[in-house]
Amino acid sequence: MHSTLKQKIENRTATVGVIGLGYVGLPLLIEFVRKGFPVIGFDNDTCKVSSLKEGKTYIKHIPSKTIQEINATGRFTATTDEHKIREMDAILICVPTPLTPQREPDMTYVVSSCELISRNIRKGQLIALESTTYPGTTDELMKNILEKTGFKANKDFILAYSPEREDPNNKDFSTSTIPKVVGCDDPEGLEVTKALYEAIVVKTVPVSSTRAAEATKLVENIYRGVNIALVNELKMLFTEMDIDVWEVINAAATKPFGFTPFYPGPGLGGHCIPIDPFYLTWKAREYDMPTKFIELAGEINTHMPRFVVNRVSHALNDHGKALKGSKILLLGVAYKRDIDDMRESPSLRLIELLEEKGAHVDYHDPHIQMIPHTREHDNLAGRKSASLNEVEKYDCVLIATDHTDVKYKDIVKKAKLIVDTRHAIPGSWNAPNVVRA
């Protein structure tokens, strides 16, 4: 079975299926089409599937031209028909793994994907999860669901884990140029999984098990989360000491060894870093092991929006204005610079906290003209980006995301007060109306 599938992969005749056509799944399937594979993209979202069939994008940094190019090959099919799963030789699962309101893993999308596959499974398929999750998801949760069909993992089908490493709109790295970690609990299955991903990425990094691969992804993001928490804590301290934390970090970064710069912000955003540490702390309870360091980092990062709101309140007070009843323009609702991705964006929490205090909040984001429906902040859906033509009417401009196409010098000239959480306005400008947060 394994040798037959590997041969099909090497011949580019293996049909690759991607379940979940979002920020991870869509770039992945594009690479497989480009490398000559027949590809089927499955999603329950009819709007996404319709857009792809029409040659239109729904992710800003992926142009419609790219969608039209893969359609023109004749090797790509977008569908909502689950029966197409039977045609897939390799099934790559790229679905969300959010947290519940209790900050525990929400495996709804992974479970539903496995149930979907179970209804359409056949012998000889490779099934790989790409979603970030806790160690044990693949060989416990997924395996249990899939084996209820009577088929056995790594005998009748290959079960693997290969974590996504997407960084939307990163100009230096793309899906094909980022090394890919692959894990499988069967050595022969690992070789087949490696062969599949080696067809599209610059390098594969095989590890001994699915658990090791799952843990690798968590370590990558916990490393970032803990270090960002450190500089966020330093920012709060240095603010009280009247020290510019960005100046300090940039100076420390000149050391050619032993220091990696991380930068503070208004809170954590994105699909990984705000969530992944909690996946490991949850799993650690099963082993009666505390994860104090990780949990402390999570607490600090989660607290940052409240710190920013307090800074806005104090800054307004110094200008003779109360937060309650004030008009605030929040710049940027994307979770990071120059993208249209709002997943876990701290800006949404900032809007809610400011409005809870009685402020009137508008937002401006050149990449997000209207706030879409989100799992945790659906009350904000439908709000539209405000113009920057009347900056002077606001009591405060709060910079939450430092998009490069915003003309900050014009903002400085017009705004009564600016609270800058991203160091978008350099200290060298000596702008008296700018407060750091």
> Could you tell me which residues come within 8 angstroms of residue 35 by beta carbon, excluding any fewer than 6 positions away?
12, 199, 200
Q: What is the pLDDT of residue 315?
A: 97
Model confidence band, residue 115 (pLDDT cutoffs 50, 70, 90): very high
Across the range 173-196, mean pLDDT stands at 96
Model confidence band, residue 367 (pLDDT cutoffs 50, 70, 90): very high
- Helix, strand, coil percentages, rounded to 5, for the chain: 40, 15, 45
Q: What is the pLDDT of residue 213?
A: 98
Q: Is the separation of the CB atoms in 275 and 344 below 8 Å?
A: yes
pLDDT at 123 over 80: yes
Same fold flag, 2-209 and 266-436 = yes
- For the chain, helix (H) and strand (E) counts, in that order, are 13, 13
Whose CA is closest to 195, among 39, 13, 9, 12? Answer: 9
Q: What percent of the chain has pLDDT over 70?
A: 100
- CATH code of 266-436, in short, is 3.40.50.720
Across the range 22-39, mean pLDDT stands at 97
Q: What percent of the chain has pLDDT over 90?
A: 87
Q: What is the pLDDT of residue 414?
A: 96
Marked catalytic residue, from 114, 184, 272, 396: 272
Strands of the sheet containing 418-420, edge to edge, are 360-364, 327-331, 396-399, 418-420, 434-436
Reading the block at residue 47, the tokens are 């709007």
Rounded CA separation 248/173 (Å):
28
Domain boundaries, the chain: 2-209, 235-264, 266-436
Rounded CA separation 244/262 (Å):
14
Q: Which amino acid is at 433?
A: N
Q: What is the pLDDT of residue 275?
A: 82
When mean pLDDT is compared across 162-171, 310-319, 331-340, the lowest value belongs to 162-171
Across the range 229-257, mean pLDDT stands at 96
Q: What is the pLDDT of residue 68?
A: 98
pLDDT at 328 over 90: yes
Q: What is the pLDDT of residue 267?
A: 92
Across the range 98-116, mean pLDDT stands at 92
Rounded CA separation 103/250 (Å):
34
Q: Which CATH number fits domain 2-209: 3.30.1360.120, 3.40.50.720, 3.50.30.50, 3.40.190.10?
A: 3.40.50.720
pLDDT at 421 over 90: yes
| Residue 114 annotated as catalytic | no
**How do residues 257-289 score in pLDDT, each as one tens digit?**
999 999 999 998 877 777 888 889 999 999 999
Q: What is the pLDDT of residue 278?
A: 85
When mean pLDDT is compared across 160-174, 212-226, 329-343, 402-416, the lowest value belongs to 160-174
Threshold 0.85, pTM exceeds: yes
Rounded CA separation 330/57 (Å):
27
pLDDT at 424 over 80: yes
When mean pLDDT is compared across 290-299, 345-354, 382-391, the lowest value belongs to 290-299
